[in-house]
A = this chain, B = another copy of it.
Amino acid sequence: MGNRRLTVREIARLAGVSVATVSRVSNGTGQVSEETRRRVLRAIEEHGYRPHHLGRALAARRHGAVGLVFPGLSGPYFSELIQGFESEAVKTRTSVHILCTHLRADSDAEVIEMAHRVDGLAVLGGTVSHDTISELAAMLPIVVLAGDGPAAVPAVRIDNTAAAALLTRHLLADHGLRRLEFVGDPSGSPDVTERWEGFRQAHRQLELPLPRAPIRVGLQQPDGVFAAEQVLRRAIPPQGVVCANDETALGVLVGATGRGVRVPEDLVITGFDDIPMAALVTPPLTTVRQPVRELAARTARLLLQVTAGEPGQPETGLVLPTGLVIRGSCGCPTSTDSPTTGRHRTTSTSRRSRAM
């Protein structure tokens, strides 16, 4: 450890040239004679020289890094998100700093701290206050992912409200269900806020009584199990639950079937996201597909583009399409194949309707 790194100066001396020339060679900028280039290259190879990132970054006044801020992560959703983001960044040799704000009180300060170490920032909707986002937007490029910030701050998102409304209308109108409940905490994230809104909107549009208050639980499988317990303990349990995401839906499914409740006969369950498991459970889950990885990748590209100083005003509101995925858990007939025959989503047994 710690054998001091070589510097441009030493390589310059070793190759018998100036530091300027070494820099030109190692960056491929400017004009260098073939002969000199070869000499320099040899010195570089021979001593395993690598330009020091900090020196280079300071001179360029670029960190060569972007930040990704999210509230503690879990499950397939965040996995996809991080990977989608990271894989775009790596293409441009940009490194990715992460920050989990979850449960930390001073997280806004931490985000600002991070802003000083990166060239651009992506924040998950709901993780950072709008005020802080505005403050950040004044100092560096920033994109909101899955949610939105103050006006003029670019955001990449889906139309959760419309998607949730479409799904809910399917249950209400096509299946004639009346007593539905929403599982998820609308104050937890913009995604859930909007899905809850879509859920209510569908009721309004069909001129039905507004649903009761949401069952406020988190977004992971265990939360769904707890929700199931709550719901099934009622004197009159609902006919169906619209869950904020697939993981809670899966949890509800496990909790319900574990208590002998039949799905969808006794209880209809729907999710949101279309994670791979959604197609594999029994009955397979009716849900909304959203392009999570693509969402993250677009966010990264948008950010990297602005960061790289590319011309043109960046799009300010990118809305990616979603699709209703009808499977068996809503009461629709399951296709004749074994529900576990399909491999992941690509060949799943789902029928899709009405891309939005």
Contacts and interface: CB of A to CB of B under 8 A. Distances in A.
A306 to B, nearest CB: 9
Contacts of A116: 50, 52-53
B280 A255 contact: yes
Contact of A137 (B1, B97, B255): B1
A188 interface: no
A347 interface: no
Contact of A95 (B53, B93, B117): B117
A221 B140 contact: no
A177 interface: no
Contact of A281 (B64, B110, B254): B254
Interface stretch (A9-17, A20-28, A338-346): A338-346
Contacts of A220: 76, 276
Interface in A93-120: 93, 95-100, 102, 104, 110, 113-114, 116-117
A277 interface: yes
Contacts of A52: 116
Contact of A82 (B73, B141, B226): B73
A266 interface: no
A339 B259 CA distance: 10
Interface stretch (A33-41, A54-62, A203-211): A54-62
Nearest to A114: B95
Nearest to A60: B54
B63 A86 contact: no
Interface in A184-232: 220-222, 225-226, 228-229
B82 A100 contact: yes
Contact of A76 (B61, B75, B110, B276): B75
Given A79-B74, A340-B229, A340-B255, A277 B221 contact: yes
Chain A: number of interface residues, binned into ranges = 35 or more
Given A58-B58, A98-B86, A98-B98, A225 B79 contact: no
A73 B77 CA distance: 11
Q: Count copies of this chain in the complex.
A: 2
Interface string A146-168: 00000000000000000000000
Closest 3 CB pairs of A and B: A258-B282, A74-B79, A54-B58
Interface string A63-76: 11100000011111
Contacts of A97: 65, 95-98
B282 A117 contact: no
Given A75-B76, A97-B98, 20 more contacts: A1-B138, A1-B141, A55-B58, A58-B58, A65-B97, A65-B117, A72-B79, A75-B75, A83-B100, A86-B99, A90-B99, A95-B117, A96-B98, A98-B98, A221-B276, A222-B280, A225-B280, A226-B340, A254-B282, A259-B340
A27 to B, nearest CB: 15
A87 B114 contact: no
B58 A82 contact: no
A257 interface: yes
Given A54-B57, A116-B52, A340 B1 contact: no
